[in-house]
Structure 1
Amino acid sequence: MRIATWAILTASLLSAPLFAQDSPSTQSQQSVKPGINDNFLDPDLKVEEWVKRFEVESREIFHARDEIVQQLKLKSGDRIADIGTGTGLFVEPFAKAVGKNGWVYAVDIAPKFVERVGKLAEEYQLDNVTPVVCGEDDVRLAPRSIDVAFICDVYHHFEYPQSSLESIHKALVPGGQLVVIDFNRIPGESRDWTLSHVRAGKEGFRKEIEAAGFEFVEEVKIEAFKENYFLRFTRK
């Protein structure tokens, strides 16, 4: 099918800059968390190992996936970017939620994750899914091409948040929705892993996002969340 072909073509065309050289914008910026994405940029990445880590009931996001999709309030015809799609956990429910007149862009910096999403789309006959290999500082989506941007347990992996947010702002239509789900980072309360892995807490990330031209709307309470939070913004 054309979806799998597109995934392979996209990976071959767009992955080279990730390994060859940084873009001009990354050259002029300093990474806020050097090395955090090394595992995903490894050409020997073992996708199935990450499936076992990401798609298990013990992970809050997996356990709460149906409620998360419901809270996005997707409509038929919406165009959503799943930024940092990873193993593609949300691709099928998003494709069904936006319907045949909508579209899902499954975006990731890891070509092997993108290739897996292409295969999933083919297997489940999801004709409204485009896998996209993005840059480390740019989601590589056309201006005003999406209505919703979804960033789940991925924002803390943005090495260049300012330029990444700028590219998301351009890709969203005015008034479009940005949803960020990430880990609460609270010294004295959060796990040691969170404190060492996640560079800032909820308020710090919120300030960065607002400074990039997004308006905070609300924090959505998800019943299953103990470590995560769900923030909704709109593009100004």
Structure 2
Amino acid sequence: MRVLLFALLALISLHFSPVMGQESAPSTPAQSVKPGINQKFLDPELDVNEWIKRFEVESREVFRGRQQIVKQLKLSPGNRIADVGAGTGLFLEPFSMAVGNKGWVYSLDIVPKFVERYEKMADILNLTNVTPVLCGQNDIRLAPGSIDVAFICDVYHHFEYPAASLASIRKALVPGGQLILIDFERIPGTSREWTLGHVRAGKEVFRKEVEEAGFEFVEEVKLPAFQENYFLRFMRK
């Protein structure tokens, strides 16, 4: 099994593996910025099919606009991309196709059952350039300089320890690599009540946090499919 194989490789030769062993992650910081936001995802009885029905529907903007999103990433054959918080694996196949046989896709999540799904998807679709990774809540567990692109889609507001997570992402990215942040607009008086209660901060706050973590803001990309979401591009300094 692919997940077990990479776990063994990490233990045998951590220095050379693109996937860091769990023992390399720093201890969890004492203070979460949004305690309990990931509790339902950490339920050992989590039903993956329930989340597929929630995430992979036309009413969800990132699902409806997935082709627009992939196009705007401007991936090239040979690129290495980390889908940080890949959820049900919506972008696993299109990313695999975009980077080609010489590229690589790391599908990351803190949910073991989601990670198991990535492995099954890669096997069924015969995608040989995909590595499922069970990451930590404050560390994506990838080796330094192992990726060219970090993709964070509708997930950043679930980061309980954003400073630590961003530090690990920056470490994994090559200098000049891009970070894509897609999240919900949070505008009091305009956004839905669900968004106001669920998403801890608006675009300006999230942008500031990413910039303070060592990234340069490049642009905001406007997508036709987006009304509630935004797409920000950053570059690793």
User: 2:195 aligns to what SS in structure 1?
Assistant: helix
Alignment partners' CA distance in 1, 2:218 and 2:170: 16
1:7 to 3, 13, 18: 3
Query: For 1:186-197, what aligned pairs fall within 5 Å after superposition?
Result: 186-197=187-198
Give the letter for the 1:214 counterpart: F
Does residue 1:229 correspond to 2:225, yes or no?
A: no
Give CA-to-partner distance per residue, 1:129-181, whole Å, 9 cap, x none. Answer: 00000000000000000000000000000000000000000000000000000
Shift of 1:11: 8.1
Give 2:16's aligned residue. Answer: none
Give CA-to-partner distance per residue, 1:11-48, whole Å, 9 cap, x none. Answer: 8999xx99xxxx6532x430000000011111111000
The alignment's TM-score, normalised by the length of structure 1, stands at: 0.92
How large is the RMSD of aligned CA atoms in angstroms? 1.9
Give 1:141's aligned residue. Answer: 142
Alignment partners' CA distance in 2, 1:173 and 1:192: 39
User: 1:25 aligns to what SS in structure 2?
Assistant: coil
Q: Where in structure 1 are there 5+ consecutive unaligned residues? A: none
Shift of 1:6: 1.6
Give 2:14's aligned residue. Answer: none
Alignment partners' CA distance in 2, 1:29 and 1:100: 41
Give 2:27's aligned residue. Answer: 25
Alignment partners' CA distance in 2, 1:210 and 1:76: 28
Contact persistence 2:26–2:139 (CA under 8 A): no
Give 1:109's aligned residue. Answer: 110
Alignment partners' CA distance in 1, 2:101 and 2:5: 23
Contact persistence 2:85–2:108 (CA under 8 A): yes
Give the letter for the 1:33 counterpart: K
Does residue 1:119 correspond to 2:120, yes or no?
A: yes
Give 2:176's aligned residue. Answer: 175
The alignment's TM-score, normalised by the length of structure 2, stands at: 0.91
Alignment partners' CA distance in 1, 2:94 and 2:4: 23
Contact persistence 1:11–1:115 (CA under 8 A): no
Give the letter for the 1:73 counterpart: K
How many aligned positions are there? 226
